[in-house]
Structure 1
Amino acid sequence: MIRFEPRGPVAVSKVISVTVAAAVAALVLAAVPMLFAGLSVFEAYGLMIKGAFGSAFAFTEMLTRATPLILTGLAAAVAFRAKLWNIGAEGQLYAGALAAVAVGTGLISGPSFVLIPAVILAGALMGGLVMLGPTLLKTRLGVDEVVTTLLLNFVILLFVQLMLEGPMKDPMGMGWPQSEPILDKAALPKLMDRMRIHWGLIIALISALGVYFLLKRTVWGFEIRAVGENASAARHAGVPVTATFIRVGLLSGALAGLAGVGEVAGLKGYLTADLSPGFGYSGIVVAMLAGLSPIGVVFAALFIASIFVGADSMSRATGVSNYLADLIVAMALLCVLVSGLFLRFKIRFVGAPHAKEASK
């Protein structure tokens, strides 16, 4: 008979070591399909490392891919800390991108120091408002936010497609469903010449530090952690549970909206329906790999981004599908979930009481 017994507080060093071990285990497990594909495992991983870190261009591409993952990872992490299960970062990303394009293509005029903050604020505000609806449904009516946030992803993407085929369609886009380009004065500056890396990375890093300070050093952060541990006990202790959920929902959606701002105002320059290859969903994996730690989110996002960018490079060199990256990410999540079980519980094997009685 197997019995799960809760552990006491777990040291941060043990959490980090288990997370690293889970990532390594995912890479080891992913070697099995590589062997079936006829690849040399060491050669394949060597090509992936070279593709993500082998040159300045490769490294900056990895950082560019990590930028939205940091923000969507933070969106998931801060919501999950309060046990508000936000699965809608993908839709909130698109909502933020849509608002950024609406403001950045001429809705208001002014110099860069006015337009850039306006674009950022519009995207964050729209992302937060999208998450506000499911949060209110949860707190007022008890509606499961997993369902509402997940379904909203598809609703928002369809609305974006509607806008790109209608009022926001670029008349100079040769018939392609895309928005007008964002004005140069509203675009996020590049961090390096002739590279795609942009100031969205700085915004993401500042956001990670801000969320860390919020959770660790403020009363609001204590309330978030208290609600996440036990909402009923927190309410009994005087914590405004409903208000805390609403604040967390707005913050989570705003962070995901910022990811959309970075993609349109810093990278692509205009909005299309295929803006995101699933950054919102990958952000959940990032948050889980990080153990919901804001600083850990940065490192987890770098790991996931290096897998994606490296797999693209390896695919071009070997002809093997880059879906291998999705396999590694999925295995990493499964390994982290299993390792989390062992962190939270001790497993004991005890004799079955009925068997002892029968022996008598």
Structure 2
Amino acid sequence: MIRFEPRENVPPLLRLGAPVAAAIAALALAALPIMAAGAPVLDAYALMAKGAFGSLFAFSELLARATPLVLTGLAAALAFRARLWNIGGEGQLYAGALAAVAVGSGALALPPLLMVPAVVVAGALAGGLLMLVPALLKVRLGADEVVTTLLLNFIVLLFVQMMLEGPMKDPMGMGWPQSEPMLEEATLPKLMARMRVHAGLLIAFVAALVVHVLLKRTVWGFEIRAVGENQDAARHAGIPVTATFLRVAMMSGALAGLAGVGEVAGLKGYLTADLSPGFGYAGIVVAMLAGLSPLGVVVAALFIAGVFVGADSMSRAIGVSNYLADLVVATSLIAVLVSGLFVRYRVRFVARAQGGSGA
């Protein structure tokens, strides 16, 4: 008989090794459809690695893809630390992008030096305020934030589509539903010449460091961790649970909003309804794969970005669908949940007791 016993102390090596094992397991499971497609598994993965790291251009594409994943991963990780289940990163990303375009396309007459800060603040504020709605519904009415944040994703996307077909539609866009372009002084500078990687990557890395310091070295971070561990005990100790939830909601939404800012101000230069291929949802996988560690989010985001970028290259080379990347991401989430079970619990094999016969 198998019995799961809670671990009193989790070995650091086990805690660090679990996400690595989950990633390896995901790649192993993804090998099955590759073999079913008749492609050599080792060659496919070698092409994926080459497509992500084989050249300066490939690596720059990986960094560009990782930028929004770091920010949406941080948004999920920070909220989950407080047991606030933010599934609305996708909507918050679009809210941030919409606000960034509204400010950066000329709605505000600001000096050039203030345009980029204004765009960044507007996007972060829009994402934060959007997440504040389900947080207030949770603390005031007891509404399930999983449902409210998930439904807000669809509401925001429909609102964005309405704006792109109406007030914010570019009159020079040849009829396509897209916003007016960002002003040049409102765009984020490129980090490499003729490459797509931009200063949003630096914002993401700084955000990861700030969240790490916040959680580990500040009173706010202690309150967040305490509320996440046990709300009743935290409330009994005098920690303002409601205020902590609202504070975390604002910060989490702001991080996801910054991901939208990077996509419009750093990459595209304008907003479309297909701006994100699911960065908000992938950020949840990044956060879980990182064990909710802010610095681990950076590593996990690079891994997931490498899978996406490498799968595109591999698909063109041997004809295997690039939907393989989605499969790896999905199996990574399942694998990390299973590995988390073995981190928290020890497996014991216990002999089944033999019943005696009575006289």
- TM-score (normalised: structure 1): 0.98
1:292 is paired with a residue whose SS is: coil
Q: Partner residue of 2:250?
A: 250
1:356 is paired with a residue whose SS is: coil
Counterpart Cα distance in 1 of 2:86 and 2:124: 16
Q: Does 1:356 align with 2:355?
A: yes
Q: Partner residue of 1:260?
A: 260
Counterpart Cα distance in 2 of 1:359 and 1:20: 53
Q: Partner residue of 1:114?
A: 114
How far is the alpha carbon of 1:358 from its aligned partner? Answer: 5.8
Q: Does 1:39 align with 2:39?
A: yes
Alignment-mate amino acid for residue 186 of structure 2? A
Counterpart Cα distance in 1 of 2:230 and 2:355: 38
How far is the alpha carbon of 1:270 from its aligned partner? Answer: 0.1
Alignment-mate amino acid for residue 123 of structure 1? G
Q: Partner residue of 2:275?
A: 275
Counterpart Cα distance in 2 of 1:135 and 1:332: 28
Counterpart Cα distance in 1 of 2:106 and 2:170: 13
Counterpart Cα distance in 1 of 2:159 and 2:210: 32
Kindly provide the CA deviation profile for residues 245-264 of structure 1, in whole angstroms up to 9, marking residues without a partner as x.
Answer: 00000000000000000000
Alignment-mate amino acid for residue 246 of structure 2? I
Counterpart Cα distance in 1 of 2:185 and 2:219: 38
How far is the alpha carbon of 1:351 from its aligned partner? Answer: 4.4
Kindly provide the CA deviation profile for residues 171-205 of structure 1, in whole angstroms up to 9, marking residues without a partner as x.
Answer: 00000000000000000000011001100000000
How far is the alpha carbon of 1:352 from its aligned partner? Answer: 4.8
RMSD: 1.2
How far is the alpha carbon of 1:357 from its aligned partner? Answer: 5.3
Q: Partner residue of 1:336?
A: 336
How far is the alpha carbon of 1:322 from its aligned partner? Answer: 0.3
How far is the alpha carbon of 1:111 from its aligned partner? Answer: 3.2
| Counterpart mapping for 1:16-95 below 5 A | 16-95=16-95
| Counterpart mapping for 1:1-360 below 5 A | 1-352=1-352, 356=355
How far is the alpha carbon of 1:319 from its aligned partner? Answer: 1.6
Counterpart Cα distance in 1 of 2:358 and 2:68: 62
How far is the alpha carbon of 1:10 from its aligned partner? Answer: 1.8
How far is the alpha carbon of 1:11 from its aligned partner? Answer: 3.4
Kindly provide the CA deviation profile for residues 197-244 of structure 1, in whole angstroms up to 9, marking residues without a partner as x.
Answer: 100000000000000000000000000000000001100111100000
Counterpart Cα distance in 1 of 2:215 and 2:54: 36
1:8 is paired with a residue whose SS is: coil
Alignment-mate amino acid for residue 215 of structure 1? L
Kindly provide the CA deviation profile for residues 64-119 of structure 1, in whole angstroms up to 9, marking residues without a partner as x.
Answer: 00000000000000000000000000000000000000000111123332000000
Counterpart Cα distance in 1 of 2:2 and 2:242: 38
**Aligned pair in 2 of structure 1 residues 118, 357: CA closer, same or farther (>3 Å)?**
farther
Alignment-mate amino acid for residue 9 of structure 1? N
Counterpart Cα distance in 2 of 1:195 and 1:135: 39
How far is the alpha carbon of 1:2 from its aligned partner? Answer: 3.1
Kindly provide the CA deviation profile for residues 268-323 of structure 1, in whole angstroms up to 9, marking residues without a partner as x.
Answer: 00000000000000000000000000000000000000000000000111121100
Counterpart Cα distance in 1 of 2:300 and 2:314: 21
2:196 is paired with a residue whose SS is: coil
1:5 is paired with a residue whose SS is: strand
Alignment-mate amino acid for residue 139 of structure 2? T
Alignment-mate amino acid for residue 278 of structure 1? G
Counterpart Cα distance in 1 of 2:136 and 2:225: 19
2:348 is paired with a residue whose SS is: strand
How far is the alpha carbon of 1:359 from its aligned partner? Answer: 7.9
**Aligned pair in 2 of structure 1 residues 356, 210: CA closer, same or farther (>3 Å)?**
same
1:347 is paired with a residue whose SS is: strand
Count of residue pairs the alignment pairs up: 359
2:78 is paired with a residue whose SS is: helix
Kindly provide the CA deviation profile for residues 109-165 of structure 1, in whole angstroms up to 9, marking residues without a partner as x.
Answer: 233320000000000000000000100111111100000000000000000000000
Unaligned stretches of 5+ in structure 2? none
Q: Which deviates more, 101-110 or 254-263?
A: 101-110
Q: Which deviates more, 36-45 or 9-18?
A: 9-18
Counterpart Cα distance in 1 of 2:152 and 2:33: 35
- TM-score (normalised: structure 2): 0.98
**Aligned pair in 2 of structure 1 residues 246, 35: CA closer, same or farther (>3 Å)?**
same
Alignment-mate amino acid for residue 347 of structure 2? I
Counterpart Cα distance in 2 of 1:276 and 1:265: 14
Counterpart Cα distance in 1 of 2:52 and 2:351: 51
What is the identity percentage for the equivalent residue pairs of Structure 1 and Structure 2?
Answer: 73
2:355 is paired with a residue whose SS is: helix
1:348 is paired with a residue whose SS is: strand
1:3 is paired with a residue whose SS is: strand
